Amino acid sequence: MDAITSNLGLFASGFWGTIVLSFFTMVGSLIFGTVLAAMRVSPTPVLRAAATTYVNVVRNTPLTLVLFFCAFGLPYLQISFGNTTDQVSFNYAVLALTAYTSCFVCEAIRSGIATVPLGQAEAARSIGLTFTQSLRFIILPQGIRTVVPPLASVIIAMVKNTSIASGFNNKELISAMNGVIELRGDQVPLILAGTAIAYLILSIGLGQIFGLIERKVRIAR
Partner 1 sequence: MRFTKKAGVFGATALAAALALTACGQSGSPNGGNASAGPSPEYKVASDVKLDSSPTWTKANKAGKLVIGVKFDQPGLGNKKAGADKPEGFDIEIAKSVAAGLGFKPEQIEFKETVSKNREPFLQNGTVDLVVATYTINDARKKVVDFAGPYYIAGQDLLVKKDSTITGPDDLKGKKVCSVDGSTPAQRITEKYPDAQLVTYDTYSKCVDNLNSGSVDAVTTDDAILRGYAAQSSGALKVVGKPFSQEPYGIGLAKGDTALRTAINDSLEKLESDGTWKKAFEYTLGSSEGITIPKPDRY
Residues in the site for partner 1, rule: CB under 8 A?
52-53, 56-58, 60-62, 65, 68-69, 72-73, 75-76, 84-86, 89, 166-169, 174-186, 188-189, 192
Distance CA 106, CA 113 (A): 10
The amino acid sitting at 141 is P
CB atoms inside a 10 Å sphere around CB 215: 9
Query: Given the complex with partner 1, which of 78 and 126 has the nearer CB atom?
Result: 78
In whole angstroms, the minimum distance from the beta carbon of 187 to partner 1 comes to: 8
**Nearest CB to partner 1, comparing residues 31 and 188:** 188
* Whole-angstrom distance, CA of residue 92 vs CA of residue 72: 9
* Residue with Cβ nearer partner 1 (190 or 206): 190
Q: Are 156 and 207 in contact (CB under 8 A)?
A: yes
Residues 6+ apart with CB under 8 A from 23: none
> In this structure, which amino acid lies at residue 151?
L
Q: Which is nearer to partner 1, 85 or 130 (CB)?
A: 85
Q: Kindly state the smallest distance separating residue 175's Cβ from partner 1, in Å.
A: 5
Q: Give the distance, in angstroms, between the CA of residue 120 and the centroid of all CA atoms in the same chain.
A: 30
Shortest gap between Cβ of 85 and partner 1 (angstroms)? 5
* Minimum separation from the CB atom of position 8 to partner 1 (A): 16
